[in-house]
């Protein structure tokens, strides 16, 4: 009969699982922070309204959509 001690291997596997779980948690945190940064990038901090950067992005997308669908575009700025 042949016996092999796998204690170290099991300990290493558990450590890898622990580190993977920690990295998954960290990734979730990073993704949440990226979402917050995206939101801060397009909103005015005082009013919470969309800013010019957002308008520039949306306007381009809406113009492309209007051309594709052959529909008119109206812009109202206050």
**Is 61 among the domain residues?**
yes
**Is 60 among the domain residues?**
yes
More confident residue, 41 or 78: 41
**Is 75 among the domain residues?**
no
The count of structural domains within the chain is: 1
**Is 19 among the domain residues?**
yes
What pLDDT, in 10s, does the model give residues 15-72?
A: 999 999 999 999 999 999 999 999 999 999 899 899 988 999 899 999 999 999 999 9
Which residues form the domain of 29? Answer: 7-69
The count of residues in the chain is 78
**Is 64 among the domain residues?**
yes
Q: Quick one: pLDDT band at residue 76, thresholds 50, 70, 90? A: confident
The answer on pLDDT for 77 being more than 90 is: no
**Is 41 among the domain residues?**
yes
The answer on pLDDT for 1 being more than 80 is: no
- With a CB cutoff of 8 Å and minimum separation 6, the contacts of 12 are none
- With a CB cutoff of 8 Å and minimum separation 6, the contacts of 49 are 43
Q: What is the DSSP letter of 75?
A: -
């Amino acid at each position: 009969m042949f016996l092999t001690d796998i204690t170290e291997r099991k300990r290493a596997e558990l450590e890898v699982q622990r580190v993977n779980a920690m990295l998954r948690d960290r990734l979730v945190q990073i993704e949440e922070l990226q979402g917050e940064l995206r939101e801060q990038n397009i909103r005015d901090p005082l009013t919470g309204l969309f800013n010019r950067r957002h308008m520039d992005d949306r306007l381009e997308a809406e113009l492309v959509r209007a051309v594709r669908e052959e529909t008119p575009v109206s812009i109202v700025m206050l």
